[in-house]
Structure formats: structure tokens, C-alpha cells
Chains A and B, each alone.
Chain A
Amino acid sequence: MLKFIAKRVLFLIPIMLGVMVIVFAIRAITPGNPVDSLLSEDATEEQRAELTAELGLDQPLPVQFVRYVGDAITGDLGTSYTTKQPVLQELLTRLPISLIVCFGAVAIGVLLGVPLGTLSAVKQYSWTDSVVRILSMVFAATPQFCLGLVLIMVFSVQLHWLPSVGLSGPASFILPMATIGLSSLAQYTRITRSSMLEVIRQDYIRTARAKGQTEFAITTRHALRNAFIPIMSQIGNQVGHQLGGALIVENVFGMPGVGKYIGDAITARNFPAIQGGVLMLALIFTIVNLLVDLSFAFINPRLKSSIMNSKAGPIEKWWKARRKKTADVA
């Protein structure tokens, strides 16, 4: 088990290095000199040369890349061209907003999608089933920014229930969360439906029914639990999409999160900010995927036993020996 976890965690390193290559390449292929963006127009040649040397832009690209990686690992993501503040600090103040939107959206998607998917599986081919499927198809086909605009139109402009743009208290989170959550609804209903359809035909469901269990208990306690593994993996996949969605939705709703930060940085061609933002989102995305994979191993007994029975690697051997030793001492 430990070997499995260690392997997966170590796998993060090449992925993040690769992401850094991409992020660095984006800067490298962009025409224009960052020195021009940092200095005012009337800067002297000496000032320009000094800044170029300070930023390391006179070095060959591989050297620049190594410097960039070194800086990024120590938490130095550069200085924003527009605000002259460290990018990392700016990102960290905005990150909670994005995370709340993202995980709120996942919660909305799951809390609506799983019951709806279950309902449409239990009542397969009924009108409930059709309504759920059509609804989720429509939501899936609507680009997130369109859905956001429609929600603003209905809930803020017409009904005046919720604030439309900007961050003014907890109510501002509702519409962005709902936008992302609804657009991912189809993924959850679809996977729940197909997973449930497979499960409810099984023998133990019939047994439960024969025992006289209520339909509700059968659906929730027996069927849904066993149908949950594909749903879990879907949740993991969706988090990534939702980070990307947060980028668009935050711009639609003017939420000051990481997505809006990157959006503004793109308009201003503020490259350290773009690079830092992308790096941070990629890191979160990869870590979330890792956690999903690991949680899988714990939830799915079959996978767990296959990992447990695999040959123990050096780390695991060391761990087991150590545990044995401590047990002996005790």
C-alpha cells in the first residue's frame, strides 16, 4: 500500500516539471520583451540592461528555465507586472474563493445529480427518466458562460434575489457555484443512472426485496452504495473541469478568484501572473486527481487487496520491519 502511495506521489514530480516546461514555453514563444512592460517608456538603456540582467533574460533559455524551476520550487513565482506584488501572495489570497466555488459546484452537482440519476434509473423509461435526461443534456450543451448569463438574467436582473457580479457576502457564491454545478449535472446523472441500472438487476437486490425491505431502503442502502465507485471517479474527473470552468465563470461573475486573476493577467499580458496561476491550478488539479486515485484504493476492496498483495517494495519492507520492531519493543 505504502509503495503504491509513494509511487503515485513521486509521479507528481515529472508531471509538474512538464507543466513548468509548458508554462515556461508559453512565455518563451510570446513575442515582446517583459522589460518593456515593467519599465516606463522613458527608461534609459542602462536601466533596461540592468533589469534584463536582473530578470536573467540575457541568459540562454535552458539556464532561464532552471532558474525558473528553482524559483518556483522555493515559492517565488515572480512579480506581477501590473501590481508589482509577489504573484504567489496574490494567488494565495484569491485561491480560497476559487476553491469554494469549485467545491461548492461539485457539491451542487453531486447533490442534484446523484438523486436525479438514481430516480431516472429506478423509474427507467418513465417520463421522469425522460425529463431528467433531457434536462441534463441541455445543461451539458450550454457553455458555462451562457448559463451564467441566463442565471444572472433570471435571478439578479428579473427577480432581484441574488447579487449578479462581484463579491459581496456569501450570497455572491451561489450563482457561480450553481452555474458550474448545473453544467456538470449531466455527467453525474448519466454515470449514476448507468451504474444504478447495472446494480438494481442483481440478485442481492431481489433478495433484499424478498426480505420485505422498503423500496427506499433498497435503493439507498443496497443499490446506491454499490453503484458509488464509478460516481466517485466521475467526481474526481469533474474537479479538473471545474477548475477550468471556474476560470470562465469567475470572469462572468467578476469573482476575484484565481480564474479572474488569470483572465485579467491575459488581458494585461502579465506573464508572471499567468504562469503562476496556471502552475497553481495544475498543481491543485494533479493533487486532487491523486487523492481521488488513492481514495479509490481505499474504497474499492478489490483494488485494495490487489495492491496489498502486490510484492512489497523497499519502502514497504522498511516500513513493515520498523513496525515489527516497534511492536516487539512494546
Chain B
Amino acid sequence: MAKIKTPTPAMVRYAKKHKRPKTYSPTRDAVKRFVRNRNAIVGFIIIMLLLVIAILAGVIAPYEYQAQDYAAAFQGPSGAHLFGTDNYGRDLFSRCLYGARYTLLLALGCVILAFLTGGALGIIAGYFGGTVDTVIMRCMDVLQAIPQVLLAICITSALGNGVPQMLTAIMFSSMPIMSKNCRAAILNVRNADYVEASRAIGVSEGRMILKHMIPNTVGMMVIYVVGLMGASINIMASLSYLGVGLVPPTPEWGLILSEAKGYFTSFPHMVLFPALMILITILAFNMLGDGLRDALDPRLK
């Protein structure tokens, strides 16, 4: 039996000098690229701040979002009302803070629904190919033949106003783009060696998609989902502005803006602040999305 030697000082010195080479994983690489990207970090921080605002809106907001005070209507920004007040004397700062909660939650809902429907269809189309692919993608072509905003507006106008209706509308209008992207992502890995190998050992199709292909395309899918967040906020705000979808006094930013549009020439602050909130949020999501794209998919640069 070989004797286990205690390391001599020379061995320790050698080991200290020649450290084991660092291991590289794609995830670590991606994180490194992401952290180095200034825009992406700024976007990420803004979104985190917005999330904190959304969660703590009830604590931070100085007033209730629907508390009316006619004596204080149409005030400009001041110490008591940071963003001023609207035509009902509601504090716009509080409304914008609560707006973060509603807007982010609703946008997240839209994106999740779009991913579960459009994304799933795209994945199925990409994986099975053939007739399934043709049928699904032709249906998506039809949906895509109607401009996105228009489709969303039509569906909401047919279903009526309300949160589930609006979510459905935005889901349908985002489905084509989501399915096309997810299909492309799946096609990328469809002929990879590990897929062939798992097929050879008889992995079932469901397991193949869920356990082998989706984890390998998760980077791409994260990019699409984050990109869709900004777009959903934009469409939601546009729908609210046109008066379809949500109903007052929901403090969704687009709706706050829509309620203010009659007064904006005399009281620009009523439009300015919700517009800035929308702008900053979409900008942050776009920046984060671009950063993620650079980090997760260096080939696309």
C-alpha cells in the first residue's frame, strides 16, 4: 500500500504558484459580460428600484391613489404633492407609485401568457416540424397580418373593458412574434448532438423538449421575454390612452395619462410625470434586454 505523504513545503510552494486553472462555465461568462455592460446594469438597477416601489407602494405613497381632494385640484408639483395633483385633486406621485405596481404586474401577466401560448406553440412547431409547423406558423402569419396595436384594440373592443380581457388581447397580439422567436430558438438546437444522443437512448418527446431543449435555449427565451415586457407596457399604455382595456380609477400609467389628456395644455405636469414613468420603465427594459442579448448570445453582437 502506498503511503500517504504529508506535502513538503516545496510542494505547497509549487501548488500556490501554479493555481488550478479557473474553470469557465457559459453562465459565469454571461454574468461577467452582463456586469461589464454599463447600460444593462443601469437598466437592471432601474427595474429593481421599480420593483421595490411596486411592492412598497402602500408604504411609500403619501396618499391613497384614489383619495380625492377637490380643494387641491390642478396643483403643480410642490412639497405636499411631489408630482402635483390631477383634476380630482388626487396626488399624482402616489398614483404613479401605485401605477408601478399595476403596470408591472399587468405587463408581467401579458408576457407570461404570451410565452405560455405563443412560446409553447413556437416550441411545438419548431420541434415537430412538418405539417404541425406549417399549420401553426401559417396561423401566426395571419395574426401578424394585422398590426399589433390594431389587433389588441380590436380584441379588447370585442371582449369589453377589464383586466382579463386586456390581458387576452395583448396575449393574442404578442403571440406571433413570441412563437416565431421560440421556434427559431428550438430550431437552433434541434439537430444538436445531445438531442440526437438522447433520442438514441429513447427519451420521450415531452422530456426531450422540457429537459433537454428548453434549458439549452433558455438564454434566448429570456431575451425575448424581457424584450416583450417593454412592448407590453407600451401597448397597454396605448390601449388605455385610446380608452379601451382598463377603466378608471386604475392607476395604470397609460390610464393616468389618458385621464389627463384633456388638461395637458394648461397643466402639463399631469401628463409629464406618468409619461416619464412609462418612458423610464420601457427604456430600462430595453436596456436590460439589449444587455442580456449581448451577454447570453455573444454571436448576435
A residues contacting B by CB (< 8 A) are 14-16, 18-19, 21-23, 26-27, 29-31, 137-138, 140-146, 149-150, 152-153, 157, 240-241, 243-245, 247-248, 251-252, 262-263, 266-267, 269, 274, 278, 281-282, 285-286
Question: Which residues does B use to contact A, with CB under 8 Å?
Answer: 138-139, 141-143, 145-151, 153-155, 157-160, 230, 234, 237-238, 241-244, 254, 257, 261, 264-265, 268, 271, 275, 278-280, 282-283, 286-287
Closest chain B CB from A130 CB (angstroms): 10
Interface SS of chain A: helix, strand, loop or mixed? helix
A278 in contact with B287 (CB, 8 Å): no
Residue of B nearest to A150 (CB): B275
Contact B282–A18 (Cβ < 8 Å): no
Residue pairs across A and B with Cβ atoms less than 8 A apart, 23 shown, are A16-B145, A18-B139, A19-B145, A27-B158, A29-B159, A30-B157, A137-B283, A137-B286, A137-B287, A141-B279, A142-B279, A143-B238, A143-B254, A146-B257, A150-B275, A153-B265, A241-B147, A243-B147, A244-B148, A266-B244, A274-B154, A278-B150, A282-B145
Q: Main secondary structure on chain B at its contact with chain A? A: helix
B147 near A149: Cβ-Cβ < 8 Å? no
Contact of B150 among A142, A146, A247, A252 (CB under 8 A): A247
Contacts of A16 in B (CB 8 A): 145
Contact between chains at B146 and A282 (CB < 8 Å): yes
Q: Report how far A51 CA is from B146 CA in the complex, Å.
A: 31
Complex Cα gap A142–B280 (Å) = 9
Nearest 8 A/B pairs, CB to CB: A18-B142, A244-B147, A141-B283, A244-B149, A141-B282, A146-B275, A26-B158, A266-B157
**A274–B157 contact, CB under 8 A?**
yes
CA distance A44 to B254 in the complex (A): 43
Residues of B within 8 A of A285 (CB): 145-147
Chain A nearest Cβ from B192, distance in angstroms:
27
How near does chain A come to B247, taking the closest CB pair, in angstroms? 14
In the bound complex, what is the Cα–Cα distance between A55 and B140 (angstroms)? 31
Q: How far is the CA of A141 from the CA of B275 in the complex (A)?
A: 11
Closest Cβ of chain A to B83, distance in Å, is: 16
CB-based contact B237/A143 at 8 Å: yes
A247 to B286, CA, bound (A): 24
Q: State the CA gap A157–B268 with chains docked (Å).
A: 11
**Minimum distance in angstroms from A92 CB to a CB of chain B:** 18
Q: Are A22 and B142 in contact (CB under 8 A)?
A: yes
